[in-house]
Structure 1
Amino acid sequence: MSEQQIPALLGRYRPQTLIGRGGEAVVFRATDEILDREVAIKLYRSATEEQMAQYRTEQTALARLSHHGIVSLIDAGIDYSAPKDPRPFLVMELVTGSDLASTLRERSLNTEEIAEIAYDVAEALEYVHANGVVHRDIKPSNVMLVTYGTTTFRARARLTDFGIAGGILASPETEEEGKTTTGTAAYLSPEQASLRAATPASDVYSLGLVLLECFTGTVTYPGGAVESALARLKNDPPVPDDLPDDWTRLLRAMTARDPAERPSAAELAVAFREAIFAAAPVGARS
């Protein structure tokens, strides 16, 4: 099915412009023709009936999530307009801003900006984990820096892309080990790279790699999927000794090889709030 042939999904969401493309899906700017508003549609590749059932389970769980640090899921379904080529899709809030990956390519971030991003994402993860969900694909391109068109508020970091193929609900009891893993190779936790079950601690590790990249300007584990996975199983991330304030200790704790040694998202939210205060100019502290 070509992009030009996509109908109005669920009879109301009309794809307009292609705004993103990945290995699993394409993303369109679209119009909600009932409410006359813009939305984003993530349209996945063809799926088997078994995968369709998994998508339905995931969509039900994601629909229950509502938090200011998350790009909201509005609707979901499966497009059967081409019966031999069914496509699952998510309808999401369309946000204004840039993703963290694009921002890092354009400029360096100061310590206060990194602390603000870290706090926003940790707070969102605290909520997500409390609701039994593991994101499993924390990476710069899945962190949106959203602007609101005012001078009063800074850009806020918001998590997106909770619908990666293969499932996002993960626990040792529900996820089969030794088969495949989901996520992006450069940001996987050691347990994910070893094809073990992802847990909330896996998201914490991935966030640690993202924040380390914010400080150093380089991806810690580049290369192909196998090369990147093997690298983190052999070597811990090289966290610089001279990062400001308490960042060296925090990043080393977040990227501990043993998941049990990593802090929780709730603990990190507290630490990152203090990091914002420590990084702010003296006159701006209150």
Structure 2
Amino acid sequence: MSKPAAPVPLLLGRYRPNQLLARGGSSMVFRARDENLGRDVAVKLFSSGSDDDVARFRTEVSVLAGLRHHGVLSILDAGVDDSSPRDPRPFLIIELVEGDTLRALLSAGPLTTRQIGEVAFEVAETLEYVHARGVIHRDVTPTNIMVVDYGTRFSRPRARLTDFGIAIHATRPQEITEETFGTAAYLSPEQVRGEILTPASDIYSLGLVLLECFTRTVAFPGSPVESALTRLERDPDMPDDVPEPWRALILSMTQTDPRRRPSAADVATAAREALRADREHEPA
């Protein structure tokens, strides 16, 4: 059940928050009404207007504003709520999508190989686009993948990548801090070591997500520190019941050496071929 809405004023004279959807360490996400266009949107309101929050806000705006892809949620507007002058709060107005997170779907029950394959293809396709524009997501997790069912006869559930709050431009210097470290269970080894990242970091994280889709078990559980450090000591366990060719693909995606991992385009191609082969073996 959703939490009651916090008291947030009308934003930019048109967006009225009315339901709290999620709360994180540095922001809250509301369902809101765009009173000019008569539609619902999502509002990501940062917890404060500190220098760190404003910097994070500007980073997310610069990243999202430059992305135009069906797998990425679109930014519609941005601003700063200065209704309390001593506590200005930056916010983003983002496309609102109706669906479930991959985390919620995994909690509800097992996914079919076809469902997992479609998530793999669509997220990899999105990452190919994102990486081609010099952006690394840095937090590919089941919680940040939304599966949307448009409910029409010829549509199917589609995976979309959300929350670019800690994304970085691959060509810019990186600073790892506690607040922008990503979700510990899905970090790449190079993230744990605090090294300069490449797009291969997102591939490793997606590999762990896909492995979890098959096993419904987090590959590196434990406390954030324990989870993060364990992957420096061993590769993720690969149960025998993970089917080919997914087994080989996930093993390649979770190579410790980022140079040995496939690109997002390679992952998308492999996923598409596996889905095609799966369809060919379906009974008539």
Structure 1 residues 1-150: aligned runs within 5 Å: 4-49=6-51, 51-150=53-152
Q: Where in structure 2 are there 5+ consecutive unaligned residues?
A: none
Separation in 2, partners of 1:51, 1:45: 8
SS at match of 1:26: strand
CA RMSD of aligned residues (A): 2.1
Deviation per residue, 1:79-110 (Å, 9 max, x gap): 22222222222211111111100000001011
Structure 1 residues 217 and 64: alpha-carbon distance in aligned structure 2, compared to 1, 3 A threshold: same
| TM-score, scaled to structure 2 | 0.92
Separation in 2, partners of 1:178, 1:23: 14
Asked if the contact 2:139/2:183 (under 8 Å) is kept, the reply is yes
Separation in 2, partners of 1:284, 1:57: 49
Amino acid at match of 2:254: T
| TM-score, scaled to structure 1 | 0.91
Identity of aligned residues (%): 54
Q: 1:157 aligns with which of 156, 159, 169?
A: 159
Number of positions where the alignment pairs a residue of Structure 1 with one of Structure 2 = 281
Separation in 1, partners of 2:172, 2:93: 29
- Give the deviation of 1:231 after TM superposition: 1.0
Asked if the contact 1:40/1:94 (under 8 Å) is kept, the reply is yes
Runs of 4 or more, structure 1, over 6 Å off, are none
- Give the deviation of 1:240 after TM superposition: 2.4
SS at match of 2:69: coil
Deviation per residue, 1:99-137 (Å, 9 max, x gap): 100000001011111001100000000001111111111
- Give the deviation of 1:77 after TM superposition: 2.2
Structure 1 residues 121 and 14: alpha-carbon distance in aligned structure 2, compared to 1, 3 A threshold: same
Amino acid at match of 2:264: A
Separation in 2, partners of 1:261, 1:217: 26
Structure 1 residues 145-224: aligned runs within 5 Å: 145-164=147-166, 168-171=167-170, 173-176=172-175, 181-224=180-223
- Give the deviation of 1:4 after TM superposition: 3.6
More displaced stretch, 219-228 vs 234-243: 234-243
Amino acid at match of 2:26: E
